[in-house]
Amino acid sequence: MLSLESLPQGTLLPDYDRSRLRTRMLHIGFGAFHRAHQAVCSDKLAREFGSDWGYCEVNLNSGELIEALRAQSLLYSVTEMADDHLSTRVVGVVTAALHGKGDGIEAVINAMCQPDIAIVSMTVTEKGYCHHPASRQLNLDHPAVQHDLAHPEQPVSLPGVILAAIRRRRAQKLPPFSVMSCDNMPENGQVTRNVIMQLAQQQDSELAAYIGQHLTFPSTMVDRIVPAMTDDALQMLSTKLGSYDPVAVECEPFFQWVIEDNFVNGRPAWEQAGAELVSDVLPFEEMKLRMLNGSHSFLAYLGYLAGYQHISDCMADDNFLIAARQLMLAEQAPTLRTSGIDLVAYANSLIARYQNRAIKHRTGQIATDGTQKLPQRWLDSIRWHLKQGSRFDLLALGVAGWIRYVGGVDEQGNVIEIRDPLKDQLAERVSGSADGEARLDALLSLEAVFGQDLAKDARFRERVACFYQQLRELGAQETVKRLVATY
């Protein structure tokens, strides 16, 4: 359990009056990223500017972290690491914590119906929205959505739980709240609005009209490298800190949060703690998703196949470093709608962050949920290049790497554990096709990922097939090396 007295000298402690905090925000998804990002920003506001905006933290499906947080008075540590330097702060801005598994979904809905709640936010990864990534619309065939359509007062999906709270607040004549996604999706506010509105339209057209008129769904762009905490990482960190914190998280020093300033019932002054409040987040979202997340996914699949465990390991291979930078600048940057941003400097800063060996960001972690990530990280850019008639070889190699990866066997013949919401569909298509052209056909025809257009595009298919064949014959290292030599 976290012991404040044992922490290193210089640790930032919550020396503000925590009793002044009001539970004005409820966040769903108390994962490592939120703990190191949005909660830290709000903690800085409380510590340095006297903000009284506190968080109710919620996990819908698991309770272990929430129970651990409760056991240490709703405190936890965040350690920023850069090479041999580290700095730690204890976050004290959490005022309540719930989990659907033990407290029940009803308790979560009731928490959202407290009068002070002005913002409901979430970090649940792309798959938590129960949508089709290719179209960004609600997946009405999703089992959780089917359940919520039949049992709107006992929801299990993220859209269903939030919708139940909106319905109840409306009935109780409580003010509406804003719903803010902090997940890596373009126009994540619009995606969130889509899934909640479309579920509401299936249940109650008047409720849908109310949501359209009274709620807001601000979009955000979030950026900070935060590796998942393993048991080994927690033990190593406890040695450095002199205290074991089961809720601890490590991250890089870099922090960015761009927020659409569109809140219906107030918000914290996050800009005082380093966030950027803007009228249009989309250019920032696309820049980050394509240049950072897109290169991360490239390194994840190709690096994993090449035997590299961490992103920093990939950076020690000159060919992978060059490939990542070229992907950003030659194939992703031209697709962007940014203005006034030095994209070369941005790419160089990303490479420097990837080289931080203190951050053990596992390629296998980034490779999860590929069916949810490919559309916004790679495929929209590929469509742009197809329209322009320009080169997209690194993006095509990324797609080929994903196909090789979801085949379930690495280059050494070891089994790859595929973690993806469409895992069963992927396994069915892999097992039902011979490795080669048939497997390409089977996976590229997955409309939920590639839509109806890409599998039919001869140029797209030819490029992916070419690199897939090279990966089978030469392996990831040699394939990346040969491609880099052509740029």
pLDDT digits (tens, 9 = 90+) for 184-242: 998 999 999 999 999 999 999 999 999 999 999 999 999 999 999 999 999 999 998 99
Alpha helices in 58-187 (DSSP H): 64-71, 105-112, 143-150, 158-171
What pLDDT digit, counting tens, does each position of 42-98 carry? 999 999 999 999 999 999 998 999 999 999 999 999 999 987 788 999 999 999 999
pLDDT of residue 84: 73
pLDDT of residue 1: 85
Confirm if 147 and 337 have CB atoms less than 8 A apart. no
CA nearest neighbour of 328 among 342, 314, 313 = 342
Spatial neighbors of 400 by CB under 8 A, at least 6 apart, are 464, 465, 467, 468, 470, 471
- Secondary structure element (H or E) that encloses residue 87, with its range: strand 85-91
> How many CA atoms are closer than 13 Å to the CA of 127, on its beta-carbon side?
12
Spatial neighbors of 263 by CB under 8 A, at least 6 apart, are 118, 119, 178, 216, 218
Q: Which domains does the chain have, with CATH numbers?
A: 4-278 (3.40.50.720), 282-484 (1.10.1040.10)
Is the pTM of the predicted complex or chain greater than 0.85? yes
Place of tokens 């598994």: 101
Measure the CA–CA gap between 233 and 405, rounded to whole angstroms. 26
What pLDDT digit, counting tens, does each position of 340-395 carry? 889 999 999 999 999 999 888 999 999 999 999 999 999 999 999 999 999 999 99
Confirm if 44 and 273 have CB atoms less than 8 A apart. yes
> How many CA atoms are closer than 13 Å to the CA of 255, on its beta-carbon side?
24
Tell me which amino acid residue 162 is. Answer: I
Residue 242, by phi and psi: left (phi above 0), alpha (psi -120 to 50) or beta? left
CA nearest neighbour of 250 among 230, 231, 226 = 226
Q: 32 exposed, middle or buried (CB, 10 Å; 0-12, 13-18, 19+)?
A: buried
